[in-house]
Each structure stands twice: as C-alpha cells, then as structure tokens.
Amino acid sequence: MDMPIRLHGRQDLTGQIYRQLRAGIVDGRLAGGQRLPSTRELAKQLGVSRKTTLEVFERLIAEGYLRTHAGDGTFVADGLTRVPQNAQEAAARAPIADADDLLLDVQPVWSDVPESLSMPVPRPALRFDFLGGVTDKTQFPFDAWRRAFNHALRIQATSRGNYRDPAGEQELRLAIARYVAFSRAVACNWQDVIVTQGAQQALDLLARVCIKPGDVAAVEDPGYPPARAAFAALGAKVAGVRVDAQGLVVADLPKDARLVYVTPAHQFPLGMPMALERRVELLEWAQRRRAVIIEDDYDSEFRFEGRPMESLKSLDRTGLVAYVGTFSKTIFPELRVGYAIPPRSLNPALQKAKQIGDWHTATLTQTALARFMLDGDFARHLRRIRKQYEARRSVLVAHLSGELARWLEPLVPAAGIHMSALLKDGIEEGPLIAAAAEASIGLYGISAFYASQPAKQGLLFGYGGMSAEEIDAALKRLAKVMRGNG
C-alpha cells in the first residue's frame, strides 16, 4: 500500500516521516489493526534509506503506536480506536444529551473572577499612553544589573543543583529586611521575609492561609481588582468598603471580616494616604476581632511631598499586619519579585503554601537582586528615578490644575507613579477615552475599580513610562480634544 507521506527537502527525514505517520494514527486516517508496509518497502516508496524507516518504526513501536507480529508484519495499534476523534463522536458514545455536556466542570467560584481583572492593558499603537503601573526601563542601570546577574550566574554554576528554601535566598531576604527597616520603619529579621513571585503571589498565599470558603474579606472600594480576584478565587465573600479623604472608612468594615486589604501609603487608585487616626482605628478593630490586615505598599518609595509616612506595619505591636512589597514599580514588572513580611504566627504556614505552589522563586533572579541591593545600586537607582518621576508629576499637576481643570479635578497624591482625576459633571469616561484614542492618547478610567460603591467617573494617569516632554505634549493634545468635545 502507498503511505500518505510527503517529504519536503532532505533535512530531518526521520522526523518528517515519524510526525506524519504518528499524525495519521492519532487522527484515525490509519485505522487500528491496519497492516503497514515493511521498512524496506516504505524506504523504497519514499526514496530514503532503510535505516531511516527502521528508526521511525522502532520509535513508534516503543511509544505504542505500532505493534509487530513475528513473521506477520507491522500493524497500527488498536488502543486509539477507543479515543473519540471529536466531541460529536464522544457524545454519540456517551449517555449525554449533546456535545456541550462534555465540557469539564469548573468550580463555580471561578465564574465570579473577571477575565481581565478589570485592569487596563497597553495599547502599543498609540503615540502617548498613560497606562498605570508602567516603569521607565530607559532609566534603569542595566550595566549594574548585568554585573549583578553575572555574579548570580557564577554562584549558580558552582552550587549544587537542588531545590532551595521556599522563603527565598538568605542574602535577598537580608537585603529586603534592611531596606524596609530603613525606608518604611518595618522592624523585622531576615527570617521574617518571604520572597514571592510579585506582590500578587504574596496576596494569594496570605489568602490561602488566612481565609476559607465563605469567610468575609474586606477590600477598599474603589480598590485593586487583582486583590479582589485573589480572595474571590478562594471562595471568600469579598466586601467592598468605601474610602474617603482619610482612607478606608473603618466604621464601615463588616463585623465578621476575617481579612482586610488596604493600600494605606497611596490608596489605589485615588491616591490619598490613610490618616494616622484611621490607622490606629483599623489596628484596634483588627485586634478586637483577631483579623488579619494585608498592607500593600506597592509604590511608596516615590514620595514627593512632606515626610514619608511610616508603614502601618510599623505601628503593629500585636502581630496583625502582613506587609506586602514589590519590585515591579521600582525596577520593572517582568522581574516578578515581591515579598511578604507577615506576622510571625503566619510564617510557617505561608512557607508551606509557597512550597506547595511553586517551591521557590527563581534563585538566579534572587541572587542577582540581592547583589544589586547590597552593593548600593538599587538605592542609587531609586534616587535617580525619583527625580525623573518628580519632574513628570510636576508637569502632570501643572496641566491638570491649569487648562484641563475645566474638565478634570485632580486628586494630587504625595507619592506614587500614578495620579487620578475626577471628571466634572456631565463628562463620561467612555466617550472621552475614545476621543483621546483618536488623537493617539491612551487614557484609562477609574470606574472599573469600583465593586459595590457607586462608581465615580474619572481617569488614572500613569506617568512611569512617559518622559516629562511626552507628558507635556500629550496633555496639550488632550486639551485640544477636550475643547473639541465641548
């Protein structure tokens, strides 16, 4: 019999023949029990050496796709005939109404998790893009980072190939502990630090350890959608709690909340810090109910006005606050390194959860980052980039407080790399965002960050990824768009 095999060129003949024969068997074009030509006959048909076809048959026999009978030939194995070729055939074989019933069951909780997590995505075609959470790689000291990475490669080349501590490399944990003690007044030992795959994994691990299905998790509203999603995915009842000019309104917290998620240094997305009185009130509330507070300190390194406000964790004396930080805003998001400094009572369980989830974060990156920090390159980078971001913020504030104030009410924060502005009455996010896109300006609304509170119309201006000159040009162009739209 002639085999339906077509060779293209003379490269990888064994691979070409193997893949086509295997595909024919899996697809059912070569039926179970069908006798195949001998290796000598197939080699003659295809114009290849018998050694080539012999290697193909040996591999397919070893993998179970072919079977042989001594003196009788080689046949297609029968087993795959029991596997349906498509959903319709499966439906015909099974006692079900139709093929749609073959869809695998998914836990109902996942239907409550939005696909996009309500977070904006970049639009590369636009000339100017105010996407939040973006950092400026052109300002990053890649020469110093390369030296740190070369150091990490040398360390890894001489170390044993084994699994490492789930909590992270000691050198990096020490560097983080020193850094947060100096910059955020977080008193901790290096053993208290757990290195994670970004802040998002830290939130997920804390939720896994602290809440069970049906527990109430309180979040700021508006707030950070991926945090809400992390809690909802574990079956928690997520309760949105309003914020005002002083931060989370503690009086509105559900009495049965097991966990409270806050961004006290720079509320996401509105930008206000949590007032000291509210911080104390929140700690008192959590103490009475033995609830866990997750403090997400995502971009407090960039403070431009007044004295840096110390972390909520620095006020905690009874082991209630789990402090979460990230290098996504200080370096870049692709690094995927964050950390948690939980109450010591949670540390053993979190390390177990980390080990079950992914065992440990990549040690090459950890070792490089540790050297980058301990050599002082990280601190120098922060000083340089803080000046850049301050200049960009000043341009943004000037425009939002100037001509654009006719349409926008800026919520000027003291820290961070984004700023929100509320739209004046009668202006809707959607049409404005669409009009700006026509002018090649990427704008992003804040209404999607609301879960249960009445959503306000506004814009979030991320300025981490644009130069001061680009921000100036973009906002001048935006003013023309606003004038043209009344």
Spans of the chain, pLDDT less than 50: none
**Is there a domain that residue 477 lies in?**
yes
CA distance 174 to 156: 19
**Residue 202 sits in the same domain as residue 312:** yes
Q: Angle, to 10 degrees, between the axis of helix 198-210 and the axis of helix 347-358?
A: 120
Query: CATH number for the domain including 452?
Result: 3.90.1150.10
**Is there a domain that residue 302 lies in?**
yes
**Residue 373 sits in the same domain as residue 389:** no
**Is there a domain that residue 437 lies in?**
yes
Domain boundary among 377, 398, 431: 377
Instruction: Report pLDDT for 80.
Output: 72
**Residue 391 sits in the same domain as residue 462:** yes
Instruction: Report pLDDT for 375.
Output: 96
Task: Identify the residue whose tokens are 């400094």.
Answer: 341
What is the DSSP-derived secondary structure letter of residue 327? Answer: S
CA distance 202 to 333: 15
**Is there a domain that residue 95 lies in?**
yes
Q: How many domains does the chain have?
A: 3
**Residue 413 sits in the same domain as residue 322:** no
| Cβ proximity of 73 and 36 under 8 Å | yes
Instruction: Report pLDDT for 121.
Output: 76
**Is there a domain that residue 121 lies in?**
no
Q: What is the pLDDT of residues 411-426, one digit of tens each?
A: 999 889 999 999 998 8
End-to-end CA distance of the chain: 77
Instruction: Report pLDDT for 111.
Output: 74
Instruction: Report pLDDT for 105.
Output: 74
Query: CATH number for the domain including 83?
Result: 1.10.10.10
Supply the range of the domain harboring residue 37. Answer: 1-104
**Is there a domain that residue 109 lies in?**
no
Instruction: Report pLDDT for 204.
Output: 97
| Cβ proximity of 211 and 258 under 8 Å | yes
**Is there a domain that residue 148 lies in?**
yes
